[in-house]
Amino acid sequence: MLRAVTYVASFGLLFGLRDRLWSAFVAERERWVLWLPVALGIGIAIYFALPLEPAWYAGSVLLALLFVGLIAYRYGTSFRLVLVLGLFVAMGFAAAQWRTHNVAAPVLAGAQITTMVEGRVVTVEPATRGPRVVLDGVAFSDPDISEIPQRVRLRLRPADARVRPGDRLRVRARLSPPPDASYPGGFDFSRRAWFARIGAVGFALAPADIAPDATGNGLGSRFSTAIERARVAIATRITDGIDGPAGGVAAALATGQRGGIPEHVRDDMRDSGLAHLLAISGLHLGLVAGFVFALVRGGLALWPRAALGWPLKKIAAVIALSAAAVYLMLAGATIPTQRAFLMTAIVLVAILVNRTGISLRLVAWAALVVLLLRPEALLSVSFQMSFAAVVALVAAYEGLGARLRTTAATSHWTRRVLIYFAAIAFSSLIASLATAPFAVFHFNRFAPMGLMANLLAVPITALWVMPMEVLALLLMPFGLEGLVLPVLGWGVEAVLLIARTVASWPGAAITVAQPTVAGMIVATAGGLWLCLWRRGWRFAGVPLIVAGLATAGGDDPPDILVSNNAGLIAVRTDTGVAYLSNLQASPFVRDIWQRRLGVSEFLPLDEGLSCDALGCTAEVSGQVIAVVENALGFAEECRRADILISSEPIPRACTGPAVTIGRFDVWRSGAHAVWLGENENAVRVWHARKQAPGRPWMRVMQLPANFSN
């Protein structure tokens, strides 16, 4: 009897809880639309997470079935909501699948070739080591190359700095397919290259032959060439007028081209938490539009006829929107800039129709447009961090913003200044908290001093640097930018001084373990729950965020890493110290590996392993690891090693080791990661590239029949 009463009471509580949750859900009816881009993103994520490419009709059929079901089923609000969310999930899946096949272009087959390359220059990014260009309409001199890429990215010689977009370029170059991940599960450049239609990357072996003014045939081609040439010309005039690193930073703020920024400056900006100032996003585009809006409205207000008879606010909004569109094109239309432009455009259009524009609905519509046009953007760090910051900021200011505006409007100017700096500190704190999980997940880095740096640098950027940037751009057609470039340079120098100072503080940037993929999904879901709802149940998202971030360190780093050419080998010993085969080679891969293994530095391989002229050996977790550098070492190591790694082809007769990783293994399967176990049967080996590719951007490297490992 008592048990029956307990069951009845339990069911009563469950039904009561269900009714309360449903009431809270219905009370937030106006927020339901905010979850549509989330559903769209889930569909995109499902598509990219699949190990194999689905049938070409899968997304369209699923979308059609759910659409028909939504039209046919007219009863029950809850089930129709499920159908709507399912429809947007299917829409995201179909959009990602359509985009993947729509951008398909040939990819260079094989490993590495040397040939004469000819093509039309699409983009140019100036840099101290030589400009980096993208060629379109590519032709090779070697007739035996069957798969000729549509686009090729090349690093030219410094002597070719005069190259411009639209030029016809011919150069002897060494090319290879776009590289895949530097370690299994890491960032896959080949996927990004696929969506940019880049089928090969490489570098010039000699100065290029450049034929100017090959502008292309179509109107779109001529327009894009004109924009790219304007970007290069603006960057050049800024760097000519501002010396040193400040010139490279100022050029990056105007055009989005960051090739002229020295590496140590990028490190300082990253370690001080100011790296977001180098990526043109909502802050920069909003400042440009806001400055133009205030300049036009204030200037016209000085003319009595205009002040009394014209709708100055709407005129200023139209001109500010035009300025934002121009800045979008000059900045290269990156994902954060597209999102910022869409949001700015909606705000300015809201002014034209006498409505309030800033809201989470605005963010939701911007996300929907970006994800439908560029589904692959969901996987990019810039999309994740920029939308995380904006969603958190808009959610935080939904209730606080009105009170701040009212207080500022009725306060003395000194109090307004204090409110301004308090708002900057609060915004920096919110944005830092929102983006920190993504920074830790992707870069294993956290900048705890970022709040202080932003409190000092953001006002300088907002009140000094960006207004001077706009004035310089406005004066360039008249050749008068020299009047403001020195002032702009002083402002940028001040920001760089803040970055350099904060980055030098102890603990300014710390290396931390990243959350697991599952943990990051849970934390993101918690953040969305916290920000997208308005009532008290939103705080249920906090435990999810904590639980997701608590998985940091739960992803055990590999014990051995081998690069995709076997030229770089890292071994992590039982003590947690990591050793590297070459401390000078591949600095980009080395830095990524360092973050992946969670170590502050690598030591030379011969300091941790027993080495001779033929190679190195060590015992880690009870397994004998051998790194053979000379083919003469195979005779001995094939007998005693449990794991054998070599940049040389490993003989077929070498059957003693449980795991062998040689030149042709990495050539065929990409970078390798090895996790050691208690015995040779517990060893796990992952590689970056599938031998039978499941996705279009994955490539297969078939070995000739006479080669063997």
- 614-653 pLDDT, tens digit per residue, is 888 888 888 888 998 888 888 888 988 889 998 888 888 8
pLDDT tens, 94-115? 999 999 999 999 988 777 888 9
> Residue 216 above 60 pLDDT?
no
Q: What is the mean pLDDT of residues 297-316?
A: 84
Q: What whole-number percentage of the chain has pLDDT above 90?
A: 21
Residue 704 pLDDT more than 50? no
Give me the residues paired with residue 625 across strands: 618, 643
- Tokens describing residue 47: 């598509």
d(CA 72, CA 579): 63
pLDDT at position 496:
94
Under 8 Å between Cβ of 665 and 708:
no
**Which residues, other chains included, contact 382 with Cβ-Cβ below 8 Å and sequence gap of 6+?**
279, 281, 334, 335, 336
Among 113-122, 125-134, 240-249, 637-646, the least confident range: 125-134
Asked whether 208 and 157 are in contact (CB, 8 A), the reply is yes
Continuous H helices in 410-508: 413-443, 450-460, 466-475, 485-503
Which pLDDT tens digit goes with each residue over 434-463?
A: 888 888 888 877 888 887 888 888 888 888
Q: What is the mean pLDDT of residues 482-487?
A: 92
Sole residue written with tokens 């373990």: 513
The confidence band for 133, taking pLDDT boundaries of 50, 70 and 90, is very high
Q: Tell me what pLDDT residue 701 has.
A: 56
Mean model confidence pLDDT for the chain:
83
Residue 47 has pLDDT above 90, yes or no: yes
Q: Distances in Å between the alpha carbon of 30 and those of 26, 393, 534?
A: 9, 19, 10
Lateral strand order in the sheet of 672-675: 603-604, 578-580, 569-572, 560-562, 672-675, 684-687
Q: Has residue 706 got a pLDDT over 50?
A: no
Mean pLDDT for the stretch of residues 469-492:
91
pLDDT confidence bin for 12, thresholds 50/70/90 = low
Choose among 206, 215, 105, 99: nearest CA to 151.
105
Does 214 score more than 60 pLDDT? no
Tell me what pLDDT residue 16 has. Answer: 59
Q: For residues 609-618, b (16+ Cβ closer than 10 Å) or e, as one string? A: bebeebbbbb
Read off the pLDDT band of 414 (50, 70, 90).
confident
**What is the mean pLDDT of the segment spanning 153-162?**
90
Backbone φ, ψ for residue 183 (5° rounding): -155, 155
pLDDT at 567 over 90: no
pLDDT tier, 88 (very low <50, low <70, confident <90, very high otherwise)? very high
**What pairing do the DSSP bridges indicate for beta strands 132-140 and 151-155?**
antiparallel
Q: Which of 269-278, 326-335, 357-366, 496-505 has the highest mean pLDDT?
A: 496-505
Q: Which two tokens stand for residue 116?
A: 């004469």
Compute the average pLDDT of residues 260-289. Answer: 82
For residue 381, how many C-alpha atoms fall within 13 Å in the half-sphere facing its CB?
Answer: 17
In this structure, of 126-135, 249-258, 411-420, 615-624, the range with the lowest mean pLDDT score is: 411-420
Give the position of tokens 């008879």: 309
More confident site: 148 or 46 = 46
pLDDT of 74 > 80? The answer is: no
* Cβ atoms 205, 162 nearer than 8 A: no
The pLDDT value given to residue 679: 63
**In angstroms, rounded to a whole number, what is the distance separating the alpha carbons of residues 3 and 696?**
59
Percent of the chain at pLDDT above 70?
A: 89
Give the residue-averaged pLDDT of 210-226.
70
Q: Is 515 within 8 Å of 549 (Cβ atoms)? A: yes
Q: Which pLDDT does position 116 carry in this prediction?
A: 92
Q: What is the pLDDT of residue 61?
A: 92
Token duo for residue 174: 């060494």
**Taking 50 as the threshold, does the pLDDT of residue 423 lie above it?**
yes
**More confident: 406 or 644:** 644
What's the pLDDT at 544?
Answer: 94
| pLDDT at residue 525 greater than cutoff 90 | yes
pLDDT at 220 over 80: no
pLDDT at 700: 59
Which CATH fold would you assign to the domain 113-214? OB fold (Dihydrolipoamide Acetyltransferase, E2P) (2.40.50)
State the Cα angle at 337 between 365 and 60, rounded to 5°: 45
Burial of 331 (0-12, 13-18, 19+ CB in 10 A): buried
Bridge-based pairing state of the strands 659-661 and 643-646: parallel
Indicate whether 708 pLDDT > 50: no
Query: Using N-to-C axis directions, what is the helix angle for 36-49 and 77-102, rounded to 10°?
Result: 50
Both tokens of residue 534? Answer: 């308005």
Maximum average pLDDT range among 11-15, 123-127, 413-417: 123-127
What is the band of 172 on the pLDDT scale with cuts at 50, 70, 90? very high
Does residue 705 have a pLDDT over 50?
A: no
Average pLDDT over residues 239-256: 89
Angle between helices 282-301 and 466-475 (to 10 degrees): 70
Three-state SS for 87-152 is HHHHHHHHHHHHHHHHCCCCCCCCCCEEEEEEEEEEEEECCCCCCEEEEEEEEECCCCCCCCCCEE
Domain extent listing, the chain:
27-102, 113-214, 232-511, 517-549, 560-687
Q: Which residue has better confidence, 5 or 316?
A: 316
Residue 478, C-beta contacts closer than 8 angstroms, at least 6 positions apart: none
Q: Determine the average pLDDT of the residues in 386-408.
A: 76
> Residue 581 phi/psi, 5° resolution?
-70, -30
Lowest mean pLDDT among 78-87, 188-197, 202-211, 338-347: 338-347
- pLDDT above 70: residue 707: no
